[in-house]
Every structure is written in C-alpha cells, then in structure tokens.
C-alpha cells in the first residue's frame, strides 16, 4: 500500500516541498534525503510502499533502488526534453536557443531517459545570463511540482506519460570540460561566446588555454549574485 514519498532534494527544497504534499494527504509519510547514499539505508519493505521524487539534484539514483520502489520514481529536470543531461542552461545559451524549459520524467537506469510526464516551455529572454535562465527553469519546476503534488501524494497509479521524446544528444560534464578547453587558433567571436556562457567558473570548471605546458585560466568578474548553478 502506497503511504510514503521519499524526497531527494537540496536543503531548501527539503524544508518546503513536503508541505505541498502533506497539504493534499496529511497521512502521507515524507522522508527527505540529501544524497543517493542516504537511499541505500532505506529497507526494502519501506521502498515497496514508496514513491521517489528527485527535485533539481545532481544525484544519480542506483538502479537497485529504482527497481525496489513500489510506486515509481520521478525527476524534476531543470531543462527541456531537448537538453537531457548536465548543465542544460549553459549549453542552451551557448547554442543560442530561443526556447528553454523544465521537464518531469520517470526515472530509469539511464540518466534523463525515462518517459516524460510533464513539460513547461518558455521563451529565452534576450541577453539573459546562465543564472537567470536557471532561475526561470527553477521557477517553472516549482510550478510543475505544485501542479502535480496532489496526484503524487494521493494516487497509487503513476501519472500518464506524454508522447514527447528526449533529445538525441545528452550533455555531460565531459562535454562541458571539452568546450572549456580553448584551442590556440580560436576565433575571437567564438572565444567571447564561450567566455560569456562558461566563464563563470561554475562547477569549478573554467575556460583554459594550454601554451607550452603552461595552463592559463580565464578569470571574469561576477556580474550579479544568484543561486548556485544547476547541473541537471
């Protein structure tokens, strides 16, 4: 019998999101966890009665946990279906997309590959920063969570899936590092483009040039304060 939601999220979300779920089902048990390691401490009997919700977290849930959950696992991804994987806002701005979004999907063994259950899309404002775009995606994810909270908290059956496919290219930390590896013959416009999007030293990865065995890293001033960048 479904009676528990396991919430995998950051500190702020773990203190707020349970209230949205409990407002629809006060008898529900909500277990907030911070890491995938915390999930391994939960016993099989509890997992059989549980549904997992991951909200904007870089944690990868082991398939052994996914297979033991009785009522499915769902991830709130800070990017549209066209941008599965890591740091979607960075790559979308680099690719000069005019539309971005947020995605809710079933969790499967492969990251950002499960059936999609809800999507919010919005236009990319002109001259927006990476942090600004991530903030918009986060706001839409919060709206999606509030919209789906009732069904997540009260329905045994999973939400229906949409006929929407993920993009073929999956973005990764490796691709992020590769784009920050600046060739010596790079054109000025391309250098400025990479510095604008990837020059904030997000995730401790900075655009870098190697010359005669010496590494030079770009250091740019921070334009505005904001939340920490979101990986995926």
pLDDT digits (tens, 9 = 90+) for 208-228: 998 877 888 876 655 444 455
Q: How far is CA 173 from CA 15, 90, 109, 131, 231, in A?
A: 29, 11, 18, 18, 9
136, part of any domain? yes
**Pair 207, 179 in one domain:** yes
Read off the pLDDT of residues 158-174 as tens digits, 9 standing for 90 and up: 999 999 999 999 999 99
Q: Are residues 124 and 182 in the same domain?
A: no
Provide the sign of the torsion angle of the four alpha carbons 53, 57, 58, 59, taken in this order. negative
Query: Is 160 part of any domain?
Result: no
Contacts of 209 (CB under 8 A, 6+ apart): 182, 184, 215, 216
Please give the share of the chain, as a percent, with pLDDT higher than 90: 87
- The per-residue pLDDT for range 41-100, each reduced to its tens digit, is 999 999 999 999 999 999 999 999 999 999 999 999 999 999 999 999 999 999 999 999
pLDDT score at 213: 78
194 in the same domain as 147: no
Q: What is the CATH number of the domain that holds 44?
A: 3.40.50.170
pLDDT at 210: 85
- The whole-angstrom separation of Cα 28 and Cα 13 is 18
Residue 192 backbone phi and psi in degrees, to 5: -65, -35
């Amino acid at each position: 019998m479904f009676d528990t939601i396991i919430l995998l999220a950051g500190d702020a979300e773990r203190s707020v999101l349970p209230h949205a779920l409990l407002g629809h089902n006060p008898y529900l048990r909500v277990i907030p966890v911070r890491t995938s390691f915390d999930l391994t401490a939960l016993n099989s009997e509890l997992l059989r009665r549980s549904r997992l919700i991951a909200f904007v977290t870089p944690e990868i849930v082991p398939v052994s946990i996914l297979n033991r959950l009785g009522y499915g696992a769902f991830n709130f991804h800070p990017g549209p279906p066209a941008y599965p994987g890591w740091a979607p806002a960075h790559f979308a701005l680099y690719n000069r997309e005019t539309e971005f979004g947020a995605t809710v999907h079933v969790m499967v063994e492969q990251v950002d590959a499960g059936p999609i259950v809800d999507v919010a899309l919005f236009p990319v404002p002109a001259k927006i920063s990476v942090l600004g775009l991530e903030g918009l995606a986060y706001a839409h994810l919060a709206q999606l969570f509030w919209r789906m909270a009732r069904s997540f908290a009260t329905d045994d059956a999973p939400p229906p899936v949409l006929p929407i496919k993920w993009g073929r290219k999956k973005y990764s930390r490796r691709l992020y590092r590769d784009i920050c590896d600046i060739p010596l013959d790079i054109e000025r416009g391309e250098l400025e483009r990479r510095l604008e999007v990837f020059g904030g030293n997000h995730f401790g990865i900075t655009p870098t040039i190697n010359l005669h065995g010496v590494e030079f890293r770009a250091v740019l001033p921070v334009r505005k304060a904001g939340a920490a960048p979101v990986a995926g």
